[in-house]
Structure formats: structure tokens, C-alpha cells
Structure 1
Amino acid sequence: MTTPPPMLSLPWLDSLQQTLQPWPMAWPASVLLALIAVAWLANFITKRILLRGLRKMIERFSGPGHNGKQPLRVIARLANIVPSVVIAAGLAVVPELPPGLVKGLQALCHAWTVLTIALAVAHALDVFNTFYERRPDARNKPIKGYLQVAKIVVYVLAGLSIVATLAGVKLLHVLTGLGAATAVFMLIFQDTILSLVASVQISGDGRVRIGDWIEMPSQNADGDVIDIALHTVTVQNWDKTVTTIPTKKLVTDSFKNWRGMQESGGRRIKRSLYLDQHSVRFLDDELRPRIYQFALLDDYLASKREELTQWNTQMAQQHPEPVNARRLTNLGTFRAYVERYLRSHPRINQDMTLLVRQLAPTEHGLPLEIYCFTASTAWGEYEATQSDIFDHLLAILPEFGLRVFQQSSDAMFMHEREKRGEE
């Protein structure tokens, strides 16, 4: 048994030791309790006095927008080291303790110190990420994934240090022994490594940022990106549900990012009116007076009248038959009207592509496609603009002698029968 270092010689301590001599373990127990009390007192002074004073000092000298609570939480975690340091240092003066027990308790105190430092470093990284996310460009270059990797490294090193301390060997020896287990660790941390590589690629090329609207049907994701972490990207869908996507999926699988649309300043309308082909005809005496009333068609009708007059005059010299003459159709005139209507619409982006075109006829009618971009990318304004346009076009169609195509039903016939009183 090793002889403990001599204690401070005080008369009252000597008297107390002489009083407790009839009880062999009373004196060591008293010293141990005193050591615990000193550790508690050191913890109390550190947290209740020093930290409070530090908090008041920060609040007094910092600006009004400064938040000192986050850094103080890191310091509060480090304050937990004080009791373990006091106990580790004081165990050497406790008399009659077996050396093995002293060594084991000191190893536990050192392990607690390492764990506390690791937790404080991890919390400091969280605090750093919180302050970084306040930067205007933080959404374009998130660092949360990198900080999570750093936290994993800190935890691994802390765990190895604790194992080395409890085993009574040097950390370097533990790290050397891990060389043979590298393949096993690569297998264990396979997902972490793949996620780290994916995070680096995502952050480097900016394919996904916080606030982006992404659509990934394979993962049932359609909404805004609200968080980018090491292993997962969190998406809040439009129905307010939350979908988590593995980060590596955004590198290996395909998805749609709507950021380009939002940054362009216009959202596309690509929708068709299906017209009944039986309603397409030349402008006759019945339609012509109605169509000539549209102010939007003044320039179109004037230019077409001049073009057709010149053509028909030349054609009449060779083939005077009416069938060889060119005439305006209600469909062509309506197409010109729709284009001019969109050109004059205040909520249509005039700097982007605008087309009104016919597509190939189908069994559902003749598609007249409207292809343009709204001036606002907001979902509500986009839907309102699109609805207003097609409301107007559907209502104005009869003025051109055109009809929309839809599958027939017996509702019209039943209505006629009810009017006639038939059963």
C-alpha cells in the first residue's frame, strides 16, 4: 500500500482524527465526505456565482441585438468539469483507500472530463451553426452536414480516449490497434461516408438549398426544403406533411427543383382548349359584324383584309371561281384574338415566351394550346391568373361561332323531356 501524501496539519483536524480513532473507517469516510462537499461547493461557486456574473457582464457590454445565452450554455457544460477535477485531485489525500480503487476512480473522473468536453464542443458547433444560419447566404451554402461530421469525429475520439483511460493505456496505442479494424469501420460508417460525399456535392453545385421547392415522386416529396442535414433532407409537403429524403438519393436519383422558375420571375401556363371541329367555318355575314366589334382585332383584321384582297385580286385573273379565294376563318380569328388578349393582359410576363397554337386533333377535339408565363410565381396568384384567362376565353367562344368539345350525356335530353312533360 502506498503512503498518501501528508495532509495539512491543523489542531482541530488532529483532534478530530484522535476522536475518530475507535472507529477505523470513520476518518477516511469523513475525509471522503469532505472531498465531496468541496467538489459540490466548487460546482456551486462556478455555476451560481461565476456564470451569473459572466452573464450579467455580457448583457451589460454587448449590444441590444446580441444573444449571449448560447455561448454561456457551452461554458455551463464546461463548468461540469470542475467537480471531477476536484475529486480526481483530492482522492490522493484520502487515507486508507486501496491504490487500485483510487486509480479506478481517477480514471472515471478523467473519462467524465473527456465526455463533458466532447459534449461542450458538440454544443459549440451547434451554436456556430445557429449564428451561421443568420447570414443572408447561409441558405445557399449550408454547413450543417459538415458540422455533423465534425461532431461524429469528436464523439469517436472522445470514446476512444475514454476507452484508453479506463484500460490504462495510451490513446496512440488504441489508434494503432484500430488500423486492422479499418474495413469494419468503413462498413459501419458506410451510410455516413456516402451522405458526407452527397452533402459535399449538394453544397458545391447548389442543386438543393433551404427554401427550394423540389418534387421527387419516388420519395413522395413535393414541397419546400426546410432542413439539410448530413443523412437526410427534410421537405415540408404542400399538405403540411413532412418527408425525409436520404441525402444520397438527391445525387443518385432524379428530382425536379422549381428554383429556376421562382428566380425567372414567371410561371408557365401550358393548357389547351379542346374545340369542336364541326364548329370551325369561314367568316360569313352572320359572324363578320360581331367579330369586327373587337377592338383587339382591329390591326389583325386590317392587315388580313389588305393581304387577302391582294391575293384574291391576283387569283381572280387566273381562276375567278370563289373556291379559289382565301377567306378568314373563325378559328384563325379566335387564335389571333387570344394572342392579342394575352399580349395586353397585365398579369402575363411579356418578356417571356407567348404562343397560341393548334395541336394535332384527337378524339377529344382540336386542342388550341395557350403557352405563356404569368408575371408572378406565387401559387395563388398563378392559379387566379390562369383561371381568369380561361374563364374569359370559354365565355367569349360563342361570339366566334365556336364550341368546346365534351363528351355527350343524356342530361340535355332528360331536360328536354321534362320540359315536354314526358315520363
Structure 2
Amino acid sequence: MNSFSHFFYDKFTASGIGDETAMFLNLLVLVVSLFIILYVIDFLLRKIIINAFNRFAEKSNTNFDNLMVKNKAPRNIAHIVPVIIADSLIPIAFIDFENAGNFVSKGLEVFGVLLTLWIVRSLLNTFKDYFKTLPRLKDKPIDSYIQVFMIFAWAFGFIVVLVIIADIHIPTFLATMGAASAVILLMFKDTIMGFVASIQVATNDMVRIGDWITFEKYGADGDVIEINLTTVKVQNFDKTITTIPTYSLISDSVKNWRGMEEAGGRRIKRALIIKQESVKHLSTNDIDELKKIQLISAYIEKRQADIEQHNIQNGADKSLLINGRNLTNMGVFRKYMETYVENHSAINDEMTVMVRQLAPTSQGIPIEIYAFSADKVWKNYEYIMADIFDHLVASVGYFNLELFELPSNTTFKTN
């Protein structure tokens, strides 16, 4: 081996070149030769391994191997053999330059650590992409877990590199690093908080990829498209992307619409505000007129009979409408709203259907519809709600009621 290392040196000295110059030329030739040999081996191995993986991927039923090729795992693995060969040949090439040889060997060891990290990253990215194709895992924050493993891998690799460069023992280095743990925790505070948040989000099933969430603090209103270790990406309905810190999902209030999407309907909760001055008791003529409304004619007749019987039994003086029990135009209208909504084909009658009167406000008396549309698609839901309220707003006048609205310019015009 020694004779091979000095083969070119002997040739140079034989040709009359000085010893020192001959040693440098010998080193140059050996290094260039080593580089060429390693390049050829690396090139051939990459071609062989990548082609073998491609052929195997074409015949395989699973897409895991395809994802390995996509994430360049075979390419990175092919570099292992040239590194091993280089490590064994460096002492031969640098036989006359021991210090330089040691320096290059350390550099090669550092490169070996980095190569190992690249291979680990390729494999982790492959697992990440593969897990996302599985139905039971595609809505889980896989990115967060892969990033955690990668952080630990890089941290360990960083320690090994420092140990190689400083030429110290790992236990000694770890003892030194323990003293600087407070600084490390401060540096990785966001990462640690994000990791804890990711675990809580996944464990409690708070947010999944594909969920529609509303986060007013960050202006987010759309679908979750990615959950990472430190951030959550939300594609808003205007196609903009909002990035939210993962930790905010457990520290702040966020609305997840998944429950609505999994339920039997989407809630309708909207009110009509009635002017208080338009509310009145109904006279006999008013009642007879409202009986013409088919949807509530049977209700009015039954209700009128019950009220008349009650008033007769209690001797109510009906010369004034206020005496005894009476129907009011708002009460009848509320019943009409409830009956109309209950009979609407787009309402889920297996869920709550209610029309309620809320506390009076400075604008008037709100009458609120609380029901659920059977169709949960946003566009269809808006159409259903608009269809219901179009009809009800147009029906208010039949009950001699008025809706509140702020005065406009036309309000003050005179004929």
C-alpha cells in the first residue's frame, strides 16, 4: 500500500523534480484520481439503484416505493458507498500529509453525518406522504409529528458534528450542553409549544385537515389545508391563505364547523323585528279576514273557539277588546311563521324547529326563527334561508304588522 501511495512520487523524483514538489504533485494526482474514482462509482450506483427502485415501483401495488423515489431516498442512499470508500482511501492519498489527512477525514465524517440526516429526512418525508394517502390518517397533523422527529434528528446530528470537530467525548459534551439548557429551551420555545399543541389538537380531535374553522382573531374563515408543528394554514373562502400559530388553537377561541357538517342540518337563526306600535288585538272582522289564510285557518278557528269559551265562563266584558283573552296579530303571525317553516320542504323536521319572541329592543320586538336546513351546502343554505324570509317579509302586511327599518330619504318625502 505504501508503494502504491508513492508510485507517482517515485516517478516525479526520477524525472528530476525536488522531493517537496514531488510530494505535493503526488498528493494532487492521488486526490484527483480519488475524486474521479468516487464520482464514477457514485454515478454508476445512483443509476443502478434509482433504476432498480423505478422498476420495482412500476411492478409494486403500493405507492410507498414511488414516494421514496419522489423524495430522492434512493439517490441519497447511493452516496453511502462512495463515502465509505473515500474514508478508507484518504489515508493512502494523504500518506505524507497526516494533519491534512486528519482534517479531510473529519470533514468526510461530518459529511457522513449530513448524508445520514438527508437519508432520514427522505425516509420521513416518504412516510409523511404515504400516511397522508391513508383514509384514517389523511386528516391528522402528520406534518407536525414528522417535523418533531426531524428536529430531534438534526439536534442529534448537530451534537455528533460538534463532537467530531472538537474531538471530545459525547458524555462530556452533553454535560456542557446541560448547563446551556435554559438557552436552548428559549431558542426552541415556539417549537416546543407547537409540539405540545399538536399533540393536544390530535389527542382531543380539535381540528382536522379539511375542517371549516372560523378564527376571528386572525381573520381566518375557511378550510384547514395544513397542520404543521408551529403553524396551521387555512384557505379562506376568498382563496387567500391565513397562517395561524398552532398553539393558538388551544390558547384562543376557535370555531370549528365540523359538528354542523356531521349533523343532520345547518342552523338558521334569524329574526324579523316588528314595530311595537303595529301590534294589536284582533277584532272579529280581523279574525274573519285572517281565516282566509289557508295555512293557519284551522288553527284560528280552534283558537277562537277556545278563547270564546274561556271568556264566557269567566264573564269577560268584550265591549273592550282588552278584557278577557284575545288573539293578537303578532301572535297569529308567529304561528303562521312556525307553520310555514315546519312545512317547508328544505327544513329538517327531525331537528329543532322553533319560532320565538325575543325581548323587546329599541328597534322593536324580534321574532326569531330557529331551525335547521336539510341541505348543508353553503350556497344552497343561503338560498333556502333567503327563500323563507322573502316569503315572511312579504307576508307581514297581511297581519297589519310593520317591520322596523331605519329612516331613509324616501321616508321624509311628501306628495
What TM-score comes out, normalization by structure 2 length?
0.89
Partner of 1:29: 28
Summarize the alignment of residues 201-280 of structure 1 with structure 2, pairs less than 5 Å apart.
201-280=200-279
2:408 & 2:36 partners in 1: Cα distance?
91
Matched, 1:388 2:387: yes
* 8 Å Cα contact 2:140-2:209 kept in structure 1: no
* 8 Å Cα contact 1:6-1:93 kept in structure 2: no
Partner of 2:106: 107
2:371 & 2:94 partners in 1: Cα distance?
89
Partner of 1:421: none
1:118 & 1:15 partners in 2: Cα distance?
38
1:43 & 1:399 partners in 2: Cα distance?
88
Change (3 A) 1:78 1:170: farther
- Matched residue type, 1:169: I
Partner of 1:148: 147
Q: What is the deviation of 1:16?
A: 9.9
Paired residue secondary structure (1:271)? strand
After superposition, the C-alpha distances for 1:89-111 in whole angstroms (9 at most, x for unaligned) are 11222265311111111111111
2:138 & 2:388 partners in 1: Cα distance?
36
Change (3 A) 1:122 1:383: same
1:249 & 1:147 partners in 2: Cα distance?
20
Partner of 1:377: 376
Unaligned runs of 5+ in 1: 418-423
Summarize the alignment of residues 15-414 of structure 1 with structure 2, pairs less than 5 Å apart.
18=11, 21-22=14-15, 23=17, 24=22, 25-59=24-58, 61-63=59-61, 66=63, 68-72=65-69, 73-94=72-93, 96-284=95-283, 286-316=285-315, 321=319, 323=321, 324-414=323-413
Identity fraction in percent: 34
2:38 & 2:118 partners in 1: Cα distance?
21
After superposition, the C-alpha distances for 1:82-137 in whole angstroms (9 at most, x for unaligned) are 33322221122226531111111111111111101111102211111111112222
Change (3 A) 1:372 1:50: closer
Paired residue secondary structure (2:4)? coil
* 8 Å Cα contact 2:191-2:230 kept in structure 1: yes
Partner of 1:420: none
1:321 & 1:285 partners in 2: Cα distance?
12
Q: What is the deviation of 1:334?
A: 1.0
* 8 Å Cα contact 2:57-2:66 kept in structure 1: no
* 8 Å Cα contact 1:21-1:27 kept in structure 2: no
- Matched residue type, 1:313: I
* 8 Å Cα contact 2:355-2:367 kept in structure 1: yes
1:339 & 1:15 partners in 2: Cα distance?
102
- Matched residue type, 1:62: S
RMSD, matched Cα: 2.5
Paired residue secondary structure (1:68)? helix
Change (3 A) 1:97 1:278: same
* 8 Å Cα contact 2:224-2:234 kept in structure 1: yes
- Matched residue type, 2:87: A
* 8 Å Cα contact 2:94-2:101 kept in structure 1: no
Change (3 A) 1:20 1:54: farther
- Matched residue type, 1:138: L
Change (3 A) 1:319 1:404: closer
Change (3 A) 1:225 1:190: same
Aligned residues: 406
After superposition, the C-alpha distances for 1:241-270 in whole angstroms (9 at most, x for unaligned) are 222222222222222222222222222222
Paired residue secondary structure (1:223)? strand
1:255 & 1:392 partners in 2: Cα distance?
35
2:295 & 2:8 partners in 1: Cα distance?
113
Unaligned runs of 5+ in 2: none
